[in-house]
Chains A and B, each alone.
Chain A
């Protein structure tokens, strides 16, 4: 059973398009995250979201928006895709009440913008 899953695994699209990446966790965690990993493996947090608050990394363009239909899902919507958006995007979850901040990561979505 996959704890944190993402779809799609690969996404190839043209500049200017709008796309979404879906994330689901079945761990019962209360907090979910989106990270961007660039070609040099640098991991940058984009959003952190739980029932109470959305924390946005201020360097993230407002073309990126997280959408959470329920506690188990945090989708990432990207408008007007640009070449620089090409990266691997990771979803993660954690439990603030339990496992003391351990992050559980999904397998990643490799986004390629042409």
Chain B
């Protein structure tokens, strides 16, 4: 079984500032890692994912995340945020290579971008 911890429930930041949303996971097997974004009153959509290979993954809207196996982390970053990035962000994990395909989601981090 795996678990996901998003350490910050809310992250306020000013427009054009950098941001990092933290995600740590726990699993006894290899995993795939995902970040999803949920804009107000919408469903979740994929931002980026790590399956294998390069540990730095680039996603949509200028976001990137780095997989750190030793620290079991997959933190999401953006160098300069916009008002439109205000949303809920979810980190998720599934088992790699034919394991359980059912994702485990973190509790979400609310990114609030102020003008």
**Do A42 and B43 touch (CB < 8 A)?**
no
Closest B residue to A37 by CB, please name it.
B38
**Cα(A95)–Cα(B61), bound, Å:** 24
**Cα(A31)–Cα(B101), bound, Å:** 10
CB distance from A114 to the nearest CB of B (A): 21
CB distance from B103 to the nearest CB of A (A): 6
A12 interface residue per 8 A CB criterion: no
**Cα(A31)–Cα(B103), bound, Å:** 13
Which positions 88-102 of chain B face chain A at CB distance < 8 Å?
Answer: 88, 90, 92, 94, 101-102
**Do B101 and A45 touch (CB < 8 A)?**
no
**Cα(A107)–Cα(B108), bound, Å:** 18
**Do A41 and B51 touch (CB < 8 A)?**
no
Known contacts A101-B32, A101-B94, A101-B101; decide if A106 and B43 are in contact (CB<8 Å): yes
By a CB distance below 8 angstroms, the chain A residues around B43 are 4, 90, 92, 105-108
B56 interface residue per 8 A CB criterion: no
**Do A103 and B103 touch (CB < 8 A)?**
yes
Which positions 27-53 of chain B face chain A at CB distance < 8 Å?
Answer: 32, 34, 36, 38, 41-46, 49, 51
Interface string of A1-29 (1 = CB under 8 A from B): 00010000000000000000000000000
**Do B103 and A101 touch (CB < 8 A)?**
yes
B residues contacting A by CB (< 8 A) are: 32, 34, 36, 38, 41-46, 49, 51, 88, 90, 92, 94, 101-103, 105, 107-108, 110
A residues contacting B by CB (< 8 A) are: 4, 31, 33, 40-43, 45, 48, 55, 90, 92, 94, 96, 100-108
Q: List 17 A-B contacts (CB under 8 A).
A: A31-B101, A41-B107, A45-B102, A45-B105, A48-B102, A55-B102, A90-B43, A90-B44, A92-B43, A96-B101, A100-B32, A101-B103, A102-B34, A103-B46, A105-B44, A105-B45, A108-B41
